[in-house]
Copies of this chain bind each other. A is one copy, B any other.
């Protein structure tokens, strides 16, 4: 199992829109950079739009970020592209036997632990913004 690459692609899309802001980034152009089909990009951009991260208009090429780079966290993108449901990173077997000491209590015991583990992971994403990403890409570019 693995978290969908929609998340990585979402980050890619937003970074590209910013770094290429002089010219319009059409879905076709972005698809070339990501190396996938334009329809895949449009679907993900639809999610980003719905989440209020970008502004796109039907028929008109390109998109713009709705907020400052520093105001878009990786967690915002993560939620936008819908890769992990709230408190459902870990799945729990359902209907354990209620007449068993373990079966009766295991879900209530495990749930808060799974939630804590998921939260720890998501907190890392909350503390990073697109600005961090873009600056890192620029830094790596200058080294070469």
Q: Which residues of A contact B (CB under 8 A)?
A: 1-5, 7-9, 11-12, 15-16, 19-20, 32-36, 74, 83-85, 88-97, 100-106, 108-110, 113-114, 116-118, 120-125, 128, 133, 136-137, 140-141
Contact = CB atoms under 8 A, between A and B. Distances in A.
8 contacts: A3-B90, A3-B91, A8-B110, A15-B102, A33-B103, A34-B103, A105-B136, A118-B121
Q: How many copies make up the complex? A: 2
Nearest to A89: B3
Contacts of A124: 113, 116-117, 120
A118 B12 CA distance: 20
A110 B141 contact: no
